Amino acid sequence: MEYAPATGTLSGIWLLVAIPLVSAAILLLLGKRADKWGHWLGVLAVAASFVLGLIFFFSLRGLDAESRAAQLSMWDFIAVGNLHVDFGLLFDPLAGVFVLLITGVGSLIHLYAVGYMEHDPGRRKFFAYFNLFVAAMLLLVLGNNYVMLYFGWEGVGLASYLLISFWYTRPSAATAGKKAFLMNRVGDAGLAIGIFLMFATLGTTQYDEVFSNVSALSSTTVLVLGLLLLLGAAGKSGQFPLHAWLPDAMEGPTPVSALIHAATMVTAGVYLIARSNAIFTANTVLQTVVVSVGALTLLMGCIIGAAKDDIKRVLAWSTVSQIGYMFLGVGLGGGAYALAIIHLLAHGFFKANMFLGAGSVMHGMHDQVDIRRFGGLRKYMKWTWLTFMMGWLAIIGIPPLSGYFSKEPIIAAAFERGDWTSWMYGGAALLGAGLTAFYMTRLFVLTFHGPERYTEDNKHPHESPFIMTVPLMLLALGSIGAGWLLSTSVPSWLEPVFGAEEAHHEAVIPHSLITILGLVVTVLGAGLAWSMFRRGTALEPQPAGVVVTAARRNLYTDAINEAVFERPGIYLTRALVYLDNKGIDGVVNGIAAGIGGSSGRLRRLQTGFVRSYALSMLTGAVLVVGAFLAIQLGWLA
C-alpha cells in the first residue's frame, strides 16, 4: 500500500491532535478563570475532532483502494547521522476507524462527565487531563512511524496516571495511579528497545520502510522484535503478565474508567500489533505467542470477574477478557485481523455503555459499588436499566446485538487455525463465552433485579440527570446495531492495510455447529447465573472452594508479582542504598575526614611566635647542611 502525500482536505489531519491538545493547554494555563466554562470547552474540542474525523474519513473513502492513505510530513523531528525521524501523520483506513472510535465515543463520555463531575471542584482540571489523554491517543494512532507512536504512547501513560489518581487524596487512588504508571513502564521499555532494534537492523522507523524490509531480517530477529512489541502491547492493553494495573484503575472517576477501558488506552496494544501485522505474520512462533497470551488472558479475566462484587471491577476484568479476544484475533492473522478490529470497535460501544451505566448506578446509590447492596433498581432507574441491558446482551453475544457479530467470528477463526491447537484455542474462546455470560448476567441480575438490599445511606435510589442518560441511549444504539454494520463493511475497508483475506483452513468443527455451540454455552451460562442470583445473594463473603478463593485473590497474580519482583526489588534497593552510604560515601567521607584531621594537627604547628619560626628555620638549615656533609663524606651513598 502506497502512502501518498496528504493534499486538499486531508492536509488538515494535524488538527485532529492539535484541537484537544490546545484545549487542554488553555484549561491548564487559565486556571480557575476557566472553571465556569472549561468543561464545555473540553466537550466541544473532542466533538470538533470527531466532526473533522468524519470529514477526513469520507475524503479517504473517495480515494482508490490502493492509494487510500494520506501521509502528512510536517518537519524533520530527529536528524542525527543515519537516524532520520519525520514528525508526520498517517491517515489510512486503520487510523481512520480508530480516530472515529476515540473521538466519537470519547465525545459521549465527555458529555456524560459534565453531569458526573458537576459538583467536583477540580472539574476544569479533570477535562484538561481528559483532553490531553485524547490528544495523546490520537497522536499514537496517527503517527507515521514508531517514534511518533511512542510519543503518543508515553503521553497516554502520563495522562492515564493523572486521571486514575485524580482523587489523589484517597490513598487507594494514589496507589492505583502509581501501579498503572510503573507496570506500564515495563511494557514501554520493551517497546522502546524494540524501536532501537528496528533502527539497528533496518536503519529506519518509518512504517512503510520497516514493513517493506521485514523479509530481509532473520527469523530470530523478527521473533525478538515481535516479542518486544508484544511486551509493550501487553502493558498498555492489560494482558498477561502485565494486566494487574487495569482493574485497580477503577479508583479513578467513572468517566475515566469508560475512556480507558472502552475506547482508548486498552486498545493501544491491539492497534500496535495490527499496525505491525507485517512483522507478526512473518513468524509463526510469534503468532502462537500472541494467540496464547490472548487465550490465557481472556480466561483469567472471566474467572476473576465472576468472583468480584465491585460493579466497576467486574467490568474491568471483563475488559481484560475482551481484549484477550482481540489479541486472539490479531494473533490468528489473515482475515482475523479485521475480526479483532470489529470486536474492538463494537466493544467500544457496549463497554462504554456499561461503564457509564455503572456510574449512573453509583450516582443514584450515593457512590455504592457493591452489587450485593443493590437489587431491584429497575423500578427506579428505567433508562439506566434499559441501556445497561443492551450492553449486557451485546457483550454475552446474543443475536442480533453487536457482540454476536464481533465475537462469534473470532471463536470460529480459532477453530480454523489449521493444526492441533485449533481445539485448544477454539475451546478457550468458547469456554470464555460461557463464563462471560455467567458473570455478566450475575452482575446484571444482582444490580437491577431481585430483592432490594440497600443500606441506610442509599435507600432512596434515583435516575441520573438527562445529560448523563442521553450518552447512555446513544451508546445503547451502538450496542444494538454496530456489530452488523461493522461486520459487513470493516473487512473490505481494512483490506488495503491487512491485505486480501486468506482462505481459511478447514475447521475442526463446522462453522454452523460453532455458532450453535456458542449460543448454547451462552444461554447455559446466563441461565445458571439467573437461577443462582435472581433471589439475591449473601451480603457478606461466604466460605468458598479453591477456585473461587483464588479468583477473589486475582488468581494470586498480585502475590506473585509482590514475591518475585516487588520484595526483591525493595531488598535490592535497600542493599544498594546501604552500599552507597557505607561504601562509596564511606570512602569519600573517610578521605575528607582524614585530610581534615591531618590539616587540623598540622595547623597546631603554626603558633604565631617568631622564636618558634626561627628555631624551625635553624633546625631545617642544620638538617640540610648535615645532609650535604653526609653525601660528601660518602655516608649516604
pLDDT tens digit sequence for 602-621: 777 777 777 777 888 888 89
Tell me how far apart the terminal alpha carbons of the chain are, to the nearest angstrom: 90
User: Residue 505 above 70 pLDDT?
Assistant: no
Write the burial class of residue 22 (CB in 10 Å: 0-12 exposed, 13-18 middle, 19+ buried).
middle
CA 601 to chain centre: 64
pLDDT recorded at residue 1: 60
Mean pLDDT taken over the chain: 90
pLDDT recorded at residue 613: 79
Q: What does the domain layout of the chain look like in residue ranges?
A: 283-537
Comparison of pLDDT for 500 and 412, the residue scoring more? 412
pLDDT recorded at residue 589: 86
Sorted by sequence, the CB contacts under 8 Å of residue 483 that are 6+ apart come out as 342, 346, 394, 400, 401, 402, 403, 404, 405, 406
pLDDT recorded at residue 538: 81
Instruction: Tell me the whole-structure pTM to 2 decimals.
Output: 0.90
pLDDT in tens, 84-140: 888 899 999 999 999 999 999 999 999 999 999 988 999 999 999 999 999 999 999
User: Reading across the β-sheet that carries 4-5, which strands appear in turn?
Assistant: 4-5, 70-80, 83-91
Model confidence at 44, pLDDT cuts 50, 70, 90, reads: very high
pLDDT recorded at residue 161: 94
User: Residue 573 above 90 pLDDT?
Assistant: no
Sorted by sequence, the CB contacts under 8 Å of residue 555 that are 6+ apart come out as 300, 303, 304
> Average pLDDT for residues 508-527, to the nearest whole number?
91
Comparison of pLDDT for 186 and 504, the residue scoring more? 186
pLDDT recorded at residue 606: 76
pLDDT recorded at residue 636: 65
Cis peptide before 461 (omega within 30 of 0): no
pLDDT recorded at residue 634: 75
**Alpha-helix runs per DSSP H in 62-145:** 93-116, 123-142
Nearest residue to 215 (alpha-carbon basis) of 306, 282, 142 = 282
User: Residue 503 above 60 pLDDT?
Assistant: no
For every residue of 561-587, DSSP letters joined together read HIIIIIHHHHHHHHHHHHIIIIIIHHH
Q: Please state, in angstroms and rounded to a whole number, the distance separating the CA atoms of residues 346 and 70.
A: 26
Sorted by sequence, the CB contacts under 8 Å of residue 200 that are 6+ apart come out as none
